[in-house]
Amino acid sequence: MKYLESIKSLILLLLVLLSVLLSFSIWNFMPGYETIDKQPTVDITIGAQKRVEEVVKPYKLLFNFEDGKRGTENSLVIDRIFEKMKQLSIQELTLNQKISVEGINETLRKPNQFTFFYPAGVPFKVLDTILTIEDSNIPEESFTQMIVKWNGNDENRLQISFINNQENLEYIAYASGIDRSRLSDQILTDAANYNTYTEVQREGHLSLYLSSQAPDDMYEYTYLLTDTNLDQFKKALFPDPNVVRSNTVALSTQEFLDDSSKLTVDTTNKWINYVNPGEESKGIAIPSELIFNSIDFVNEHGGWTDDYRFFDIDPINKEISFGLHIAGFPAFSDTKMTTAIHETWGENDIFRYHRPFYDLGNPFPAENNNVPMISGKAAADVLASIREIDFNLIDEVKAGYNISTIQSQDQPLIVAEPSYFYSLNGNWLRLTQDMLGGGPLGLE
């Protein structure tokens, strides 16, 4: 018995050591779990990505010479001249005055200047990504015309006026970086040979500036109707395409849904409409941010499947549109087809995304027929003679293309026909053959 206490103490010590050993083993035990592979980020590129300057472009260039007006709506020519503007450094941008409608007309008709026309208000902060504005505090305001004066008093600088014809504002700036002789050699000499233009005056309303000559580069184009892969749009628009459910609504309408958003597809008229209801917002957008965010959104999935350009903006409703262009001219449709990418933004993300999912590609070379057209001035004269139309309310008259689908030997085609269009109460309408009274225009 005299060893009993010693044995108990030894056993207790062994138990304590065993307990410590087991605890240490548990702490350092690493189970042999297999590594969980992360799902790879899906990089969707449906079409092209574009820079701001490739999307935000002027559509008309007007030169005021002492002996008359010359101009062009040829996109390649305008791009070439605007490229030379990148040599300029714009400084001292300031608000000059509140300007009346007649004041805008007077400013635009002054001689010795050329004007770039934009389809909607372009914020100065957007222009700063295309040209160089040296000012440290660039205003958020927008402009619709940029006027470059070439015979000012300062030989070392050019004066530039920016007109906002929606808010009746004029901004003044000065630009250096190009001398007068180089300006004359590189721009003005060629411009003297452009088509003649006419100012169509309307009392109490903005003037229209339209070509007195018929465009000679309008063709009828025929394209094979090609759809963009809808699975690519599903992968781009839904966070997890694997949980998307499909639902056939009608013969030509299909829906794709997840728990928060819906994509509607019209297979007849070739458009998609994506809605994310949780993002609906009634706030007002900052115009420059609306443009940047909208271009970035399309770039994220390479959504520039054709030549789409900045066409309209509504910051109050956070809406913006990019119109389809064919050979540099805007395209419209008098059918249910859509010819524009429309975006509506919510609080932090896209709320609605409506766009075509056809891809024009290259036209059939054998089908490209030159179509005789009347002048823009003649088209305006027709509109002014129609009683049902208030000519004073027309915002612009443009040559463009009307697109429609046809079936040819079981092969669906898209036909683009040269036409004149006019903007009235926010809508673009076609000047039809019936309105012309059967005269030759190549509209039908």
Give the tens place of pLDDT for each residue, 230-266: 999 999 999 898 899 998 888 899 999 999 999 999 9
Domain boundary at 144, 177, 211, which?
211
Residues 204 and 307 in one domain: no
**31 pLDDT above the threshold of 80:** no
Average pLDDT over residues 334-343: 95
Rg (CA), the chain: 31
- Lowest average pLDDT, out of 179-183, 260-264, 349-353, 435-439, goes to 435-439
What is the DSSP pairing of strand 132-133 with strand 89-98?
parallel
| Stretch among 264-273, 373-382, 426-435 having the lowest mean pLDDT | 426-435
Range of the domain at 89: 52-211
Inside any domain, residue 30:
no
Tell me the per-residue pLDDT of 166-185, one tens digit each, with 9 for 90 and over. 999 999 999 987 777 777 77
CATH number, domain with residue 312:
3.30.310.160
Phi, psi of 301 (to 5 degrees): -120, 20
Are residue 204 and residue 220 in the same domain, yes or no? no
Q: Which amino acid is at 349?
A: D
The answer on 100 and 58 residing in a single domain is: yes
Q: What's the confidence (pLDDT) of residue 8?
A: 54
CA angle 325, 326, 331 (to 5 degrees): 55
Same domain, 181 and 228: no
The domain total for the chain is 2
The answer on 250 and 158 residing in a single domain is: no
* Position 31 in a domain: no
Give the closest residue to 50 by CA, choosing from 118, 128, 130.
Answer: 130
pLDDT band at 401 (very low <50, low <70, confident <90, very high): very high
Q: Residues 406-428: what's their mean pLDDT?
A: 92
- 338: confidence class by pLDDT, cuts 50, 70, 90: very high
Residue 329 has pLDDT above 50, yes or no: yes
Classify residue 40: in a domain, yes or no. Answer: no
Q: Residue 23 has what pLDDT?
A: 46
Confidence of residue 41 (pLDDT cuts 50, 70, 90): very low
pLDDT at 29 over 90: no
* Distance (Å) of CA 383 to CA 197, 238, 372, 396: 18, 46, 19, 11
The mean per-residue pLDDT over the stretch 109-133 comes to 96
Q: What's residue 241's pLDDT? A: 87
Q: Which two tokens stand for residue 111?
A: 């001689």
Please state, for a pLDDT cut of 70, what percent of the chain lies above it.
Answer: 87
Residue 119: Cβ-neighbour burial (10 angstroms; 0-12, 13-18, 19+): buried
pLDDT at residue 37, rounded to an integer = 35
Q: With respect to residue 41, please indicate whether it lies within any of the assigned structural domains.
A: no
Contact 177, 88 (CB under 8 A): yes
pLDDT at residue 444 is higher than 50: no
> pLDDT (tens digit, 9 = 90+) per residue, 180-225?
777 777 889 999 999 999 999 999 999 999 999 998 788 999 999 9
* Residue 10 backbone dihedrals phi, psi, to 5 degrees: -65, -45
Same domain, 186 and 249: no
Q: Which pLDDT does position 24 carry in this prediction?
A: 44
User: What's the confidence (pLDDT) of residue 15?
Assistant: 53
Q: What is the mean pLDDT of residues 49-69?
A: 97
Q: What confidence score (pLDDT) does residue 245 get? A: 93
**Strand pairing partners for 209?**
199
Please, which pLDDT band fits residue 28 given cuts at 50, 70 and 90?
Answer: very low
